[in-house]
Amino acid sequence: MARLRTTAPSSGYTVLVVDDDDDLRITLCRLLEVDGHEVLSAASGEEALRLCRGQDVHLILLDYFMPGMTGQEVVKHVRTFDPQVQIVLQTGYASEKPPRQMLRELDIQGYHDKSEGPDKLLVWVDAALKTFQHVRALHASRSGLEYILKAAPELHRLQPLDDLLLGILLQIQGLLGFPSAVLATLTPERAALAPSGAVLTTELQEFTLRIGTGRFNHTEWAVLTPAEQTLICTAVKSGQAYLGPQIILPLKAGERTLGVVMVDNPGPGNGDLHLLEIFAAQAAVAIENTRLYSLATIDDLTGLVNKRAWLMRLEETIQLAARHAVPTSVLLLDLDHFKAVNDTYGHLAGDHVLATLGGCVQQHLRRSDVAGRYGGEELAVLLPHTPAAGALIIAERLRGAIERLPLRWKGHALSLTVSIGVASLPSTAVHAPEELAVDVFARADQALYEAKRQGRNRAVQDTEGAPAL
């Protein structure tokens, strides 16, 4: 096999010339090089099959009569592993095999009589490569639609916004195989940075990074080039997608633009814009649903779930735990002397304390744990799959972390401690499943009262219930 170097600008296509006539094969390869194609050559059907299996070939110019395998046999073998490559058969004895008959019998895209000269063959080459481009685009669109249909349930699953945004970027990676991407939303969010990167939000018309991958990982807005900043701002204002060195996808729910995704385009042949817009619409609806769900379930001040949402999770988790004999525990936390903070420094200082407390609690819990604001300065924590001993360890970890918080308000250092009540499911259920949640919460409340009676700034475990599971 000889690989011939091309001097013309690359067309992006690879053509395999198969002919046992060395002079004819070399001449044809040189003609194809002039058009910028990468050219491979083979002197036999067996060598042609080996090249096709090892490389991405777009078009095969195949001699019909060759020693060993005939062109017809090569076609049948190729079609067992590559349905997309275009094949043009060539022969010097066209009268023996009428073109229409060959086109009907074999999965080929052209049949060239060598006596008609190279110009006619190059016409077949141009037509076949155009067909290849359409076939590959159609296949990519069909695969992309199948991918979107499979990805949709994961996008629309209720989940934290940062998890959803990162999932959107990873799903686009599945569609495009991009090296780098960044996602911007127009709704300011207080969520922490995701481990894999950052996210863009707009605050007072300024962009700050929230989630990105590749070269955008932990990048600040100011590090983006002026051209990239302009592309993002233009997409946000116009709501129109852009396909170029970067792919810009506005995230629109109906007529409202929620944000934008910018992806480094991995190559000029990538990016069915209409297909990507379909996915972006799905992603925008998922973001909007997550935002609405957060408004209904998240406490604005602490960033934890609200009382109603926490109680629903408590009931669901406790019933499953009782059914499957899984250890589960509950913590109730109450700030010590919180009224003094409000009376001394004002309610804004109290709000600052509660917001800091919510962030601290969330930071020291596992992903499976559920922390909520139960009311005022009282927080509740649900610990699935956690026995009594483990729950007490977590409670002590939280108590110590809160005691060490470096809190300040207008130049004043604030001291913050917390009392914690701990309760777990009994090893033998003495209540009906629907009553277990009420029971374990009531015992945690009693343990909290005991912690305060003993002097505050401590965690006390319920002792009335039987040993935990």
* List of domains in the chain: 3-135 (3.40.50.2300), 156-297 (3.30.450.40), 307-461 (3.30.70.270)
Q: Residue 310: pLDDT band by 50, 70, 90 thresholds?
A: very high
pLDDT of residue 247: 81
Q: Is the pLDDT of residue 224 over 50?
A: yes
The lowest-confidence range among 72-86, 290-304, 323-337 is 290-304
Q: How far apart are CA 150 and CA 142, in angstroms?
A: 13
Helix (H) or strand (E) holding 62, with range, is strand 59-63
pLDDT of residue 4: 46
What is the maximum alpha-carbon separation in the chain? 106
Q: What is the mean pLDDT of the chain?
A: 79
Give the Cβ contact number of residue 454 at 10 Å. Answer: 11
Residue 400 backbone class (left: φ over 0; alpha: ψ -120 to 50; beta: rest)? alpha
- Residue 234 corresponds to which amino acid? T
Q: Is the pLDDT of residue 466 over 60?
A: no
With both helix axes pointing from N to C terminus, report the angle between 433-453 and 307-324 in degrees, rounded to the nearest 10: 120
The H-assigned helical ranges of 66-115 are 71-78, 99-105
More confident of the two residues 181 and 49:
49
Q: Is the pLDDT of residue 390 over 70?
A: yes
Q: How far apart are CA 112 and CA 17, in angstroms?
A: 13
**Tokens 């001394």 identify what position?**
344
Q: How far apart are CA 179 and CA 374, in angstroms?
A: 44
What residues act catalytically? 377
More confident of the two residues 444 and 150:
444
More confident of the two residues 208 and 162:
162
Question: Reduced to 3 states, what is the DSSP secondary structure of residue 424?
Answer: strand
Q: How far apart are CA 419 and CA 455, in angstroms?
A: 9
96 Cβ contact list (under 8 Å, min separation 6): none
pLDDT of residue 382: 96
Q: Do residues 286 and 192 make contact, with C-beta atoms less than 8 angstroms apart?
A: no
Q: Is the pLDDT of residue 328 over 50?
A: yes
pLDDT of residue 119: 81
Q: Let me know how many helices (H) and strands (E) the chain has, helices first.
A: 13, 19
Q: Is the pLDDT of residue 3 over 50?
A: no
Among the ranges 96-105, 189-198, 441-450, which has the highest mean pLDDT value? Answer: 441-450
Q: Residue 261: pLDDT band by 50, 70, 90 thresholds?
A: confident
pLDDT of residue 158: 62
Q: How far apart are CA 327 and CA 436, in angstroms?
A: 13
pLDDT of residue 211: 67
Question: Percent of the chain beyond pLDDT 90?
Answer: 28
Mean pLDDT on 307-313: 91
The lowest-confidence range among 30-44, 130-144, 183-197, 299-313 is 183-197
pLDDT of residue 192: 30
pLDDT per residue over 186-209, tens digit each? 544 333 322 222 234 443 345 555
Q: Do residues 185 and 200 make contact, with C-beta atoms less than 8 angstroms apart?
A: yes
Q: Is the pLDDT of residue 18 over 90?
A: yes
pLDDT of residue 200: 43
pLDDT of residue 46: 92
Q: Do residues 196 and 231 make contact, with C-beta atoms less than 8 angstroms apart?
A: no
Residue 408 tokens read as: 């300040």
Q: Is the pLDDT of residue 462 over 60?
A: yes
Q: Is the pLDDT of residue 105 over 70?
A: yes
Q: Residue 185: pLDDT band by 50, 70, 90 thresholds?
A: low
Q: Do residues 191 and 161 make contact, with C-beta atoms less than 8 angstroms apart?
A: yes
Q: Residue 136: pLDDT band by 50, 70, 90 thresholds?
A: low
Q: Is the pLDDT of residue 162 over 70?
A: no
DSSP letter, residue 378: E
115 Cβ contact list (under 8 Å, min separation 6): 92, 94
Give the Cβ contact number of residue 137 at 10 Å. Answer: 13
List of E strands, 138-270: 181-185, 199-203, 206-213, 242-243, 246-253, 256-264
pLDDT of residue 84: 83
Q: Do residues 402 and 417 make contact, with C-beta atoms less than 8 angstroms apart?
A: yes
Mean pLDDT on 420-437: 76
Q: Is the pLDDT of residue 274 over 90?
A: no
Q: Is the pLDDT of residue 400 over 90?
A: yes
Mean pLDDT on 104-113: 79
pLDDT of residue 464: 61
Q: Is the pLDDT of residue 231 over 90?
A: no
Q: Is the pLDDT of residue 448 over 80?
A: yes
> Model-level pTM?
0.53
How many Å from the N-terminal Cα to the C-terminal Cα in the chain?
A: 71
Residue 143 backbone class (left: φ over 0; alpha: ψ -120 to 50; beta: rest)? alpha
Pairing of strands 206-213, 242-243: unpaired
More confident of the two residues 249 and 430:
249
Mean pLDDT on 278-295: 78
Mean pLDDT on 125-136: 80
Q: Do residues 1 and 41 make contact, with C-beta atoms less than 8 angstroms apart?
A: yes
Q: Residue 346: pLDDT band by 50, 70, 90 thresholds?
A: very high
